[in-house]
Amino acid sequence: MSAGKMTFRWVSGIAQKQASWFVGSLQGKAAYAAWVVFLVQGFRDNGFLLQFEQTSDPWARARLVGEKIHQLREAFAKLTPEEKEALGKTGEVELRAGIELLSADKKRVMELVSIVDPPVPP
């Protein structure tokens, strides 16, 4: 799970659904990125991860996750606009890094495909 990947999925999902939502969503992208970065950082908490891994019941795990999201939502609401802006910038950096990695991976795959199955001249 990463903030960049979640932001990419959010924006691309909106783009597929309705064009008018896309423009409005891009305007609020920094706020969403700030929330996602905060959420991901919150789920990386070692205490939470240890408790989650020690719980075997799926319903108990779901409850732990729900309680953690509730705590994070309340903590996020208390952040200053400057803190949220900094988190949004972090999300943007992660998104750009993820897109660069995906582009490089796609290029490598295409190179491998061309080696294995070269194009046939007409």
Give the whole-angstrom CA distance, residue 41 versus residue 110.
34
Residue the block writes with tokens 């996602």: 36
Q: How far is CA 5 from CA 9, 29, 47, 58, 72, in A?
A: 6, 13, 24, 25, 19
Give the whole-angstrom CA distance, residue 40 versus residue 2.
7
Predicted local distance difference test score (pLDDT) of residue 116: 84
Give the whole-angstrom CA distance, residue 32 versus residue 7.
7
Predicted local distance difference test score (pLDDT) of residue 79: 93
Give the whole-angstrom CA distance, residue 68 versus residue 88.
21
Predicted local distance difference test score (pLDDT) of residue 75: 95
pLDDT tens across the length of the chain (122 residues): 677 777 788 777 777 766 666 666 666 788 888 988 999 999 999 999 999 999 999 999 999 999 999 999 999 999 999 999 999 899 889 888 888 998 998 999 988 888 887 777 77
